[in-house]
Amino acid sequence: SHRDNAQFSRAKWRKRILLPCWIVQVLLLLGMMGLFSYRLSRTSKTWKGQQDQGEDPTVEFVWETANVTFSFISLVIVFVSIARFIAEVLTPVPLLFGNIINLALTSAVLALDIVVYVKYADRKYSLIGLIMDCVLMFFTIIPTFYSVIIYRRLLSYDDYHLPGNVKPYGYASAEEPEETAYRSSWLDAPVPYDPTNPSTTVTRPRSPPAVQPMMERRKSYDHKRDTAFDEYVRRRSS
């Protein structure tokens, strides 16, 4: 929309901050999805064997499923932010909201990684997951704080009020509702004439009265000196 595009122009996002974070996030999320998808398929194949040995693979199954699912959701959120940036409609609030969701999902996966690392003997995959989660969380916190900074900058811009009736294209004033911001008064439908309604009675402008000549027509110029001022001075001095 015009509003998002205007906010994008005023935000002045820095590619050197956002692009590296997005690249690292995409690579880590794809790596986590691939790694734990392999673990999930392996757990499904050895489920019966582990139960025969008296082991309960439920926790591992939940851990691997959460890693794959949460990584996929975070990846979709990152791709949406990248698409909005390319379309030049990225605003701070959606970016901040998406980063908060990603941080919550990463924190949940990190907690599961810690539980698996402490309680189970197979610590190789849980240790890899811990490292990837910590790196992912770091590169998610950076754009989170950056979006807060941009949001505060836009708020400071909004503190400057435009004089008079001037307002940027695509915006409605505080007194004017947004749906009427793009409509001029000459586009409104005419009000039908109702002779019974005194408020809609058409009043015809009265013709102006004939202007009476205040003075006679001035004589033509004859190069003679006007003595009216001299007579006025003489009357004042007498």
Residue 75 tokens read as 């990846």
| Burial class (CB within 10 angstroms; exposed 0-12, middle 13-18, buried 19+) of 31 | middle
Per-residue model confidence (pLDDT) at position 169: 45
Per-residue model confidence (pLDDT) at position 181: 45
Q: Hey, what domains does the chain have and what are their CATH numbers?
A: 2-158 (1.20.140)
Per-residue model confidence (pLDDT) at position 137: 94
Token match 């997951």: residue? 129
Residue 20 tokens read as 């590296």
| Residue ranges in the chain modelled with pLDDT below 70 | 1, 121-123, 158-223, 237-238
Per-residue model confidence (pLDDT) at position 12: 87
With b meaning 16 or more CB within 10 Å and e meaning fewer, what string describes 150-164? Answer: bbeeeeeeeeeeeee
Count of alpha carbons within 13 Å of 56, Cβ hemisphere only? 5
Per-residue model confidence (pLDDT) at position 52: 78
pTM check: above 0.85: no
From 23, 162, 22, select the one nearest 90 (Cα to Cα).
22
12-34 tens-digit pLDDT: 899 999 999 999 999 999 999 99
Per-residue model confidence (pLDDT) at position 1: 64
Token match 């919550």: residue? 104
Residue 108 tokens read as 């949940």
Residue 64 tokens read as 């691997």
Q: Give the C-alpha separation, 207 to 204, whole Å.
A: 9
Per-residue model confidence (pLDDT) at position 182: 45
